[in-house]
Amino acid sequence: MPIETNNPSKKSWLEVAKNSDFPIQNIPFGVFLTRDDIITIGTRIGDYAIDLGALHQLGYFEGIPLTEDIFLQDTLNDFISDGKKTWRAVRIRISEIFDIENLSLQNNEAHKKVILFSMDEIEMKLPVQIGDYTDFYSSREHATNVGTMFRDPENALLPNWLHIPVGYHGRSSTIVPSGIPVRRPYGQTFPKGANNPVFGPSRLVDFELEMAFITTDANKMGETIAIDEAEDYIFGMVLFNDWSARDIQKWEYVPLGPFLAKNFASSISPWIVTMDALEPFRVDSPKQDPEPFHYLRQKGKNSFDINLEVSIAPEGQEETVVSKSNFKYMYWTMAQQLAHHTVNGCKVNSGDLMGSGTISGPTPDSYGSMLELSWQGTKPVKLKNQVTRKFIEDNDTVIMKGYCEKNGARIGFGEVVTKLLPAHHIES
Ligand code: MN
């Protein structure tokens, strides 16, 4: 069933620039601080932030079963808990209110004054309180590149990789929204040629180009989520920069996997784009061979055509695009990740965040990390003005963008922009 909110000919009475990521067909959800320092749940059309708390108080959601304070909260968790029917009803209603044919709010200056904000007068916050964060490793190209560099080009993929959507449990406490700078971490490393481990600032700080999905509460402990239902429990997606310290990672990851190399920071884009908005951009995911176990088998188009781009801007300089990738390259789909995550009865909650893993494409200009782009530092990446980078340097800003485009219709995620600050000094 086509979703009316996605009709590409639909227009809003709010002005939307031609290449905006946020036309009326998008209607993402986020949390922001208003010009009066009030925190509220909102959506965005063009460069306008829309206060859903105010819309609700003024009666615009009449007929939709919502608690009075559902949008007057500092996270989306309770709204996400209300389930897909409610998300869809609210999104459809927003689409109607801002449709160019609808005059009710359009002609009400007093209401518009309390509902509408320009993007430059608000501050975006973390949209959900993230309970648990899981990171997958689902790009075949990325896993192959890393396996080739770190282990053995002949056996780059480990034997489990084509059977299991491999993942690990990360840490949610250090996930921050776009705009919040992160700091170069200290840690233990074992540099090439050294005889002993050393302690100091990481010298190989890297980005990971990922996307993440946010779940609703889906199952009780002991219950599984069937693959055919898995997408119904996904609220939406964000861009995700999963900062990594490659030198710390290399020394610490055996035998239990990533630890301090990964949990010092991860950055997300602040607007959650719903699965309903992404529906028109479905594409086939890569063919899976060998055929996965029954609980991971899917029919139909289960991936999404989302263009991804990473840029680096050294301090005081313009940015250079260093990678162009696409979410559709992921070998394992989000539904497979969620079905696998719960096949043992693991409980998933509202506001959990699942990272895709680094999304590398098939060509060297589509790799999703500096580790791969500079091939462990052996091929420096050229930026503008004769600047080169092997990894991320102090005061560099990393910018990730993502958008879908089809037949002239465009839905985007905006960006996640993060500056890397120099390490704080710690005595060894
Ligand atoms: Mn990661």
Tokens (6 digits) for 188: 């233990």
- CA of 357 from ligand 1 middle (Å) equals 5
- For residue 245, how far is its CA from the centre of ligand 1 (angstroms)? 11
- The gap between the terminal CA atoms of the chain, to the nearest Å, is 61
Whole-model pTM: value is 0.97
Between the CA of 11 and the centroid of ligand 1 the distance, in Å, is 38
What is residue 4's predicted lDDT score, i.e. its pLDDT? 85
Element (H, E) at 87: helix 84-97
CA–centroid distance, residue 57 to ligand 1 (Å): 40
Quote the ligand 1 centre to 149 CA distance (angstroms). Answer: 17
Q: How far is the CA of 208 from the centre of ligand 1 (A)?
A: 6
Q: Is 256 exposed, middle or buried (0-12, 13-18, 19+ CB in 10 A)?
A: exposed
Helix, coil or strand: residue 293:
coil
pLDDT score of 151: 87
Distance from the CA of 323 to the center of ligand 1, in angstroms?
Answer: 16
Catalytic residue (one of 56, 111, 142, 425) = 142
Return per-residue pLDDT of the chain as tens, 428 residues: 567 899 999 999 999 999 999 999 999 999 999 988 999 999 999 999 999 999 999 999 999 999 999 999 999 999 999 999 999 999 999 999 999 999 999 999 999 999 999 999 999 999 999 999 999 999 999 999 999 998 889 999 999 999 999 999 999 999 999 999 999 999 999 999 999 999 999 999 999 999 999 999 989 999 999 999 999 999 999 999 999 999 999 999 999 999 999 999 999 999 999 999 999 999 999 999 999 999 999 999 999 999 999 999 999 999 999 999 999 999 999 999 999 999 999 999 999 999 999 999 999 999 999 999 999 999 999 999 999 999 999 999 999 999 999 988 999 999 999 999 999 988 87
* Cα gap 9→44, rounded to integer Å: 18
CA of 108 to the centre of ligand 1 (A): 47
The C-alpha atoms of residue 123 and residue 183 are separated, in whole angstroms, by 21
Instruction: Dump pLDDT digits (tens) for 164-194.
Output: 999 999 999 999 999 999 999 999 999 999 9
CA of 242 to the centre of ligand 1 (A): 5
What are 318-346's pLDDT values in tens digits?
999 999 999 999 999 999 999 999 999 99
Burial of 120 (C-beta count, 10 Å sphere; 0-12/13-18/19+): exposed
Q: CA 138 → CA 160, 184, 304, 358, distances in Å?
A: 12, 26, 14, 8
| CA 358 to centroid of ligand 1, rounded, Å | 6
To the query of whether residue 56 is one of the catalytic residues in this protein, the response is no
DSSP annotation of 134: E
Q: β-strands 266-268, 388-389: how paired?
A: unpaired
DSSP label at residue 365? G
Residue 35 has what pLDDT? Answer: 84
261 CA from centroid of ligand 1 (Å)? 10
136 CA distance to ligand 1 middle (Å): 7
- Can you tell me whether residue 45 is helix, strand or coil? strand
Cα-to-centroid distance, 8 and ligand 1 (Å): 34
Q: How far is the CA of 135 from the centre of ligand 1 (A)?
A: 6
Angle at 172 between CA 171 and CA 177, to 5 degrees: 130
98: number of Cβ within 10 Å: 23
CB 11 within 8 A of CB 100: yes
From ligand 1's centre to the CA of 359, what distance in Å? 9
